[in-house]
Amino acid sequence: MALIFKKQSQTVPDFKHGNSSSIHCILLCFFLMLALIAPALAADKVEISVDASKTGATINRNLFGQFAEHLGHGIYDGIWVGPDSKIPNTRGIRNDVVAALKAIKVPNVRWPGGCFADGYHWRDGIGPHRNVRLNPDWGGVIEPNTFGTHEFMDFIDQIGSHAYVSVNLGSGTVHEAADWLEYMTAGQATTLAKERGTNGHPAPYKVAMLGIGNESWDCGGNMSPDYYTSQMKDYSHFVRNYNPAQQVAPGQENKEEMMKIAVGPGGNEPRFVDWTETVMKAYQHHSWSWDINGLSMHNYTVDWQHKYASTGFGETEYAQVLKSTLEMDGLINKYSAIMDKYDPQKKVALVVDEWGSWYAPLPGSNPGFLVQQNSLRDAVLAALNLNIFARHADRVRGANIAQMINVLQAMILTDKEKMALTPTYYVFKMYVPFQDATFVPVTFDAGTYKHDDVSLPRVDAIAAKNASGKLWLEITNVDPNEAAEIQLNVTGANAKSAVGQTLTAPKVDSINTFDAPKTVVPKPISGKVEDGKLTVTVEPKSVTVISVE
Ligand code: AHR
């Protein structure tokens, strides 16, 4: 103790005996330090201005779509356990998973792939005798086909969602795809419709969205843009939806009309400019006999050379991954500009039907199963992407995160009877009020968060009004070290209070596990009014959704 005291006493200035010049020097240093710190303190405050009287495009609910491929434990174990399982289920579909998905109001589920779709033959998955095949794309494992068309439609129905079916343009034929759509949707007593009835569903199914191939420039057939476009025209014409509720009378609109989505670009490679140009140029001059309503875009947050780990990382990897995910905005700008040339009225939606983080497979897992953990970093990443989509809501009218359960950036992880909801799940839950809400522009000076050589906007935000006129605001604090005091300047509405939920956790790599499922869960947050100003303080590395009353 004595030694410590002695050491300290050597560094503490002796005011009593000090001369006046050393006191001046200390005071000078003190004020100098204050001057240096002051801007940093001021930077902790962010003014967000919202003009609630100005509105933009509708944030289409389909931006919150999901993707469920026959891959790893995405379908089998994740959704399907079979009617004889001890795991509580309804007709073979897990009850816990259904309840969790209902709560996030999944607007549509893209199925059966992905790369799997272009090797899928729908007849393998109907009727009492299923064809057992292999899944060469994903680990070469047995595909029992016990989860087929009827099981998928039952699942969609149980979670209250809509079907986005990708047909096989790679190894299949137009004939096969046309038959599948007739089987699913025909209302009249055709042979295929009767077969559907014999298999348990006399009423026609609805198919809300149709994917015409998947990544046809690569795993879907490595086609040239011209070859794909010519195939796509045939599929668009012949693969018909016969459901009476989805028909469109001449000169009229039907909100239930099936959306046909052509394969579009996948990332930033130069070849995708030509691809997008070719498909959109064809669309510009399309005849009455074919049409598309959407162009797909795939973009993962991934470093293909050195995949990032999904657990046990620090601030460096946090900053690098978030920097990479923000490239989504540039890609949307790039491909939207091409679409604008051929479709200035924005009739064709850009549908980002595969997006999310793609990390290294978890040690010990089958590399073909794309198993990864999901951390607070993924929650921030999801919010940043959803905000990008919302800002492009006039053109981006669909998106499907990859993938729903146990694969890549999943909502849900399962292990036999156990289930854990991921940080990304909670982001989707918090964003439910934004589904079909009207975009409201916000302005703010985001500031900068810096780590090593990475600089990122420190704060992100979007606002929207729902059908009853309530104003919702999302604020992401990217900075993992500093809280942000948000001052809300709302015009066009009388803002007196702000309440909602915020999602953060102790560390950037905090995760929810089966044993500790509540490490990253939302908690309530509210703003306060001081001097007539509404402020809300958001924690470091957090996602916050509030309603402003
Ligand atoms: O989501 C995994 C795979 O990524 C999909 O099957 C494919 O479309 C994409 O390359």
Task: Report the mean per-residue pLDDT for the chain.
Answer: 92
With 70 as the cut, is the pLDDT of residue 219 above it?
Answer: yes
Q: Which comes out higher in pLDDT, residue 110 or 549?
A: 110
The answer to whether 317 is a known catalytic residue is: no
| 114 touches ligand 1 (CB under 6 Å) | yes
Within 13 A of 257's CA, how many CA atoms are on the CB side?
14
Q: From the CA of 465, how far away is ligand 1's center (Å)?
A: 34
pLDDT tens-digit map of 84-128: 999 999 999 999 999 999 999 999 999 999 999 999 999 999 999
* Nearest protein Cα to ligand 1, atom 2: 114
Residue partners of 268: CB distance under 8 A and separation at least 6? 327, 330, 331, 334
With 70 as the cut, is the pLDDT of residue 4 above it?
Answer: no
* Nearest protein Cα to ligand 1, atom 7: 114
Catalytic site residue from 143, 215, 474, 539: 215
Mean pLDDT for 285-302 is: 97
Q: From the CA of 106, how far away is ligand 1's center (Å)?
A: 20
Looking from the CA of residue 113, the nearest atom of ligand 1 is 6
> Looking at residue 530, what is its pLDDT?
76
The answer to whether 182 is a known catalytic residue is: no
The SS3 assignment for 470 reads coil
pLDDT tens-digit map of 351-408: 999 999 999 999 999 999 999 999 999 999 999 999 999 999 999 999 999 999 999 9
Q: From the CA of 39, how far away is ligand 1's center (Å)?
A: 46
Judged by phi (left if over 0) then psi (alpha if -120 to 50, else beta), residue 436 lies in left
Mean pLDDT for 491-515 is: 93
Catalytic site residue from 354, 485, 530, 539: 354
Torsion of CA 107, 113, 117, 119, to 10 degrees: -160
With 50 as the cut, is the pLDDT of residue 269 above it?
Answer: yes
> Looking at residue 110, what is its pLDDT?
98
> Looking at residue 77, what is its pLDDT?
98
Judge contact between 163 and 108, C-beta under 8 A. Answer: yes
Mean pLDDT for 265-270 is: 96
Q: Which comes out higher in pLDDT, residue 36 or 160?
A: 160
Q: From the CA of 69, how far away is ligand 1's center (Å)?
A: 8
Beta bridge partners of 298: 266, 354
Mean pLDDT for 7-32 is: 39
Read off the pTM.
0.91
Mean pLDDT for 272-289 is: 97
Nearest CA to 51 out of 440, 466, 349, 530 is that of 440
